[in-house]
Amino acid sequence: MDQYFTQYIGRFTRQPHGSNQTEILTNLKGMAMEILKEFQQAHGRLPKFIVFLRDGVTEGQMLEVLQKEVQALIDALCELTGARSVKDRLRSNGPRICFAVIRKGHKVHLYNGDKNPEPGTVVDHPDFTDAELVNFNLVSHTGIGRPENQKSVKVPSYVVLYDEIWHDRPDPIAMPLEQIQKMCFALCHLYGYAPRTHVYWVNN
């Protein structure tokens, strides 16, 4: 809610379970509209940029997330701004969206010789990324609980599904990827109880 990222608006909702269970967020449009209305009441305007980071998406779910969750966010903004389309919203300087997911189930591991890579290390070389996706691997934390040469750091894999912020069209292929990499790394350091990002290693 504020420029220092110290005030937040929280929302939660129940997901369908049983035979109707789904990992797709079913009430994203409603929650997004509630949060954006609160922001508008506090600041007298809607935000200029909306960065949505979605955790825990498998490769097989990405298309469904794009078709349902991204579309729900677009629909919420169109309804709040009165825009009839994405082009109409962007033409009138309405809020712009960047929607990225943190992929689960990938098998990428990064090593710097016998040690973990330094926090802030980014790998986006075509040999380590998917040619059909805008994605990168980011070492955002320092391993804790094991010596550095034990290679305990897990490497998140980010995929940009949709972008309007760094490019005028909803086409992330032409986006300056370094900008979102820096942003994702910065967002990893907002945890209020620790001066740095970290992961604790738990022995099984």
80 by Cβ neighbours in 10 Å (0-12 / 13-18 / 19+) ranks as middle
pLDDT for the residue 203: 39
**CB of 7 closer than 8 Å to CB of 21:** no
Is the whole-model pTM more than 0.85?
Answer: no
Residue 163: φ, ψ to 5°: -145, 130
Is residue 64 pLDDT above 60, yes or no?
Answer: yes
Structure tokens that stand for 153 in this block: 């750091």
CA nearest neighbour of 62 among 107, 99, 97, 114: 99
Domain ranges of the chain: 18-200
Which residue type, as a one-letter code, is found at position 42?
Answer: A
Least confident of 43-47, 84-88, 104-108, 116-120: 104-108
When pLDDT is cut at 50, 70 and 90, the band that residue 196 belongs to is low
pLDDT for the residue 40: 93
pLDDT digits (tens, 9 = 90+) for 96-131: 999 999 988 777 777 777 777 888 889 888 887 877
**CB of 135 closer than 8 Å to CB of 122:** no
Average the pLDDT over 186-203 and give the result: 58
Cα atoms found within 13 Å of the Cα of residue 183, Cβ hemisphere only: 17
When pLDDT is cut at 50, 70 and 90, the band that residue 29 belongs to is very high
Residue 23: φ, ψ to 5°: -95, -5
Average the pLDDT over 19-44 and give the result: 89
Cα atoms found within 13 Å of the Cα of residue 188, Cβ hemisphere only: 22
Is residue 174 pLDDT above 90, yes or no?
Answer: no
pLDDT for the residue 71: 96
CATH: 3.40.50.920, 3.90.1170.20, 3.40.50.300, 3.30.420.10. Which one for 18-200?
3.30.420.10
Q: Locate tokens 């794009």: which residue?
A: 66
Average the pLDDT over 168-192 and give the result: 71
| Neighbour count for residue 131 (Cβ, 10 Å) | 6
